[in-house]
Amino acid sequence: MSVIGVDVGGTKIAAGRRGPDLVATEPIVIPTPYGGMAIIEAIAALVAEIAAASPDPVRAVGVGLPATIDAVTGRVAHSVHTGMDDFDAAGALEAAVGLPVFLDNDANLAALAEHRLGAGRHHANVVLLTLGTGIGGGLIIDGEVFRGGRGHGAELGHISVDGNGPPCQGGCPNRGCIETMCSGTALGREFRAFAEANPATALGQLHAEGALDSRSGLALAREGDPDALAIVTTAGEWLGVAVTSLANTFDPDVILIGGGLSDAGELLLGPARDIYLQRALPPTRRAPLEVAALGPDAGMVGAALMAHEGVGG
Ligand SMILES: [Zn+2]
């Protein structure tokens, strides 16, 4: 028996099958259409295609969405990335797919995957932050995903580190959340603000060419440009402030940084670790702060694992 894991991102949907031994097959990747029903129909088509090619029956489907999902009703209240708004995602999926469907937040699934198969293996308590356009979060407590009372946890990207900081993005009314201090969006904003004020710098030149974003700014930092490096360092330090609070709160065994921005590696993690090791309560400084192991596939792997475990493994 096989299961299918589907990861819905802001720009693409990845779906792959895992056989009885949980060995993965090559995933299919398509662009994410906009809107709840369009996404559900795309998922159903992917599942049908993969199931038709499967050498054994598919038992269940796991789906990760970049959204908070009510565990009781299966509804997505609001998701900027997908255009879902008070949308019965669980019901629509069950109806369209015709197989048992398990649904969760994408970062929760990335945490599940890292715990079962990645950098969180052999650890009972894992904190994961996924850094990309936004910041997602996942918590493993005593070996299980912690989702809170209604499944809306753990939105660690909305931990505020500066109560008077910049307004948060998406549907978040808070200020100074780490999503607005050290996400890819935040880095892009800081690079551009610096470039506009300092047109004679390398960042300024890149901006004048219309080529400045979080990626190209990070590349400059990697080459040692002091201005880009200072901006990345500041973002890393804000990350470290949040990591300090997470360590103090959960006393985790390991703290993992995943998502597309994690390939900045020590440029971000170095300053974050410096702050964490200076500021966390001494007994909670024990957790290593590391890059997650499963890369961009973590959400899809976690979705397949959730389906596998959901039907009794
Ligand atoms: Zn926020």
Q: Identify the band that residue 31 occupies on the pLDDT scale cut at 50, 70 and 90.
A: very high
In a domain, residue 258? The reply is yes
| Cα 168 to ligand 1 centroid, rounded to whole Å | 5
Within 10 angstroms of residue 225's Cβ, the number of other Cβ atoms is 18
| Cα 157 to ligand 1 centroid, rounded to whole Å | 7
- Whether residue 175 is found in the same domain as residue 99: no
Backbone angles phi, psi at 129, to 5 degrees: -115, 130
| Cα 156 to ligand 1 centroid, rounded to whole Å | 9
Q: What is the mean pLDDT of the chain?
A: 95
- Whether residue 182 is found in the same domain as residue 257: yes
| Cα 128 to ligand 1 centroid, rounded to whole Å | 17
| Cα 258 to ligand 1 centroid, rounded to whole Å | 18
- Residue 23 confidence (pLDDT) above 80: no
In a domain, residue 143? The reply is yes
In a domain, residue 58? The reply is yes
Provide the terminal-to-terminal Cα distance of the chain, rounded to the nearest Å. Answer: 10
In a domain, residue 228? The reply is yes
Q: Identify the band that residue 170 occupies on the pLDDT scale cut at 50, 70 and 90.
A: confident
In a domain, residue 199? The reply is yes
H or E stretch covering 12: strand 12-18
| Cα 174 to ligand 1 centroid, rounded to whole Å | 5
| Cα 67 to ligand 1 centroid, rounded to whole Å | 13
Residues 111 and 156 sit within 8 Å (Cβ to Cβ) = no
- Whether residue 92 is found in the same domain as residue 198: no
- Whether residue 103 is found in the same domain as residue 249: no
| Cα 5 to ligand 1 centroid, rounded to whole Å | 28
Q: In the Cβ-directed half-sphere of 175, how many Cα atoms lie within 13 Å?
A: 6
- Whether residue 275 is found in the same domain as residue 134: yes
| Cα 185 to ligand 1 centroid, rounded to whole Å | 13
In a domain, residue 220? The reply is yes
- Whether residue 129 is found in the same domain as residue 263: yes
| Cα 49 to ligand 1 centroid, rounded to whole Å | 38
Of 227, 298, 237, 225, the residue nearest 269 (C-alpha): 237
- Whether residue 303 is found in the same domain as residue 229: no
Exposure string for 26-62, b = 16+ CB within 10 A, e = fewer: ebbeeebeeebeebbebbbebbeebbeebeeebbbbb
- The pair of structure tokens assigned to 140 is 């493993």
- Whether residue 301 is found in the same domain as residue 267: no
| Cα 176 to ligand 1 centroid, rounded to whole Å | 7
For β-strands 101-105 and 2-8, DSSP reports them as unpaired
In a domain, residue 117? The reply is no
| Cα 208 to ligand 1 centroid, rounded to whole Å | 31
| Cα 160 to ligand 1 centroid, rounded to whole Å | 7
User: CA 219, 220, 224 angle in degrees (round to 5)?
Assistant: 115
Q: How many domains does the chain have?
A: 2
CATH assignment of the domain containing 266: 3.30.420.40
Q: Which position has the token pair 């040692």?
A: 224
Helical ranges in the chain per DSSP H:
36-53, 89-97, 106-117, 179-182, 184-197, 202-208, 214-222, 226-250, 266-279, 298-310
pLDDT digits (tens, 9 = 90+) for 177-193: 999 999 999 999 999 99
| Cα 180 to ligand 1 centroid, rounded to whole Å | 7
- Whether residue 272 is found in the same domain as residue 306: no
Residues 183 and 157 sit within 8 Å (Cβ to Cβ) = yes
| Cα 170 to ligand 1 centroid, rounded to whole Å | 8
| Cα 159 to ligand 1 centroid, rounded to whole Å | 7
pLDDT digits (tens, 9 = 90+) for 236-255: 999 999 999 999 999 999 99
| Cα 173 to ligand 1 centroid, rounded to whole Å | 7
In a domain, residue 215? The reply is yes
Structural domain harbouring 187:
122-292
Distance CA 134, CA 190 (A): 15
Q: In the Cβ-directed half-sphere of 260, how many Cα atoms lie within 13 Å?
A: 13
- Whether residue 134 is found in the same domain as residue 283: yes
- Whether residue 236 is found in the same domain as residue 147: yes
Distance CA 172, CA 181 (A): 14
pLDDT digits (tens, 9 = 90+) for 83-128: 898 999 999 999 999 999 999 999 999 999 999 999 999 999 999 9
- Whether residue 155 is found in the same domain as residue 13: no
Q: What is the pLDDT of residue 287?
A: 97
